[in-house]
Amino acid sequence: MIQFIFRRLLQLIPVLIGVTILVFSLMHLSPGDPAQIIAGEGAPEHTIENIRERLGLNEPLHVQYLTYVGNLLQGDLGNSIRSNRPVINEIEARFWTTVELAFYSVVLAVFIGLIAGIISAVRASSWIDAIIMIIALFGLSMPNFWMGLMLIKYFAIDHPIFLPSGWGSWQQNILPVITLGTGGAAIIARMTRSSMLEVINQDYIRTARAKGVKERLVIYKHALKNALIPVVTVAGLEFGSFLGGAVLTESVFAINGMGRLVVDAIYQRDFPVLQGTVLIIALLFVIVNTLVDISYRYLNKRIDLQ
């Protein structure tokens, strides 16, 4: 187990290097001048040059990147071009908001997806199965931002049950979590159904039924546990996608999380904030997937992580 975790940590290094190169290249190749944005419209050229020199923007791209990586190895993500605050402080103020949003959304997606998938598999080829799969297809096809706007219209404006913006109270959290978790619930439902149907047709399930084991025990004790591995994999991937998908959801519901921080950094050409935020999200994604891989050993003792 220790060797497996160590290998995964080593694999994390090239992933993070690739992320920094990709984001750094895309941001610097996109049009616009951060020094001009900071100086403002109509600023004198010497003022803009001073800003470029102060921020190191007049250096070649490879020098800027090496400087960034060197600071990163010392735990320094740099300072925000917009606010001149340390990037780590900018991220820290919004980090847990996005993590909470993604976590609650995954919990909702797994809860709904598992129940729907199990019912659909047990009632395979019935009208219940057809209805659940149609609803899952609708949830999978529906854009998050559209669903968020519809939820705000019906449950915050037409019928003011929940609050349309912000994060903190349950009245603020319900709509964003439903918006972000719906697509994941649809994916998990379809995966659970497929995995359960494959396991239910195994010989040991037929043997358990032949011995007179109650159907509920057959489904939840024997079948579900062995069908969970692909479902857990999808849930881990969904958590990572929710971290990225929070960009739209946080924008729709005016939530001050890392997703909205990314959007603001793009508009304001705040390279250090964008690079730092994407790096943190990538790090979380890899950590979650490592935990998912470790969980396989507890779901199925026959799996060897080595």
Nearest-5° Cα angle at 218, 213 to 224:
165
- How far apart are the C-alpha atoms of 234 and 228, rounded to whole Å? 10
251 closest CA partner among 170, 154, 144: 144
pLDDT score of 74? 83
Specify whether the CB–CB gap between 206 and 171 falls below 8 A. no
Domains and their CATH numbers in the chain? 35-76 (no CATH), 91-299 (1.10.3720.10)
Is the whole-model pTM more than 0.95?
A: no
Amino acid at 232: V
Using the 8-state DSSP alphabet, how is residue 212 labeled? T
Each residue's pLDDT tens digit, 277-300: 888 888 888 788 777 777 766 666
pLDDT score of 47? 79
- How far apart are the C-alpha atoms of 217 and 126, rounded to whole Å? 22
pLDDT score of 104? 92
pLDDT score of 176? 92
Structure tokens at 232: 């857990």
Low-confidence ranges of the chain (pLDDT < 50): none
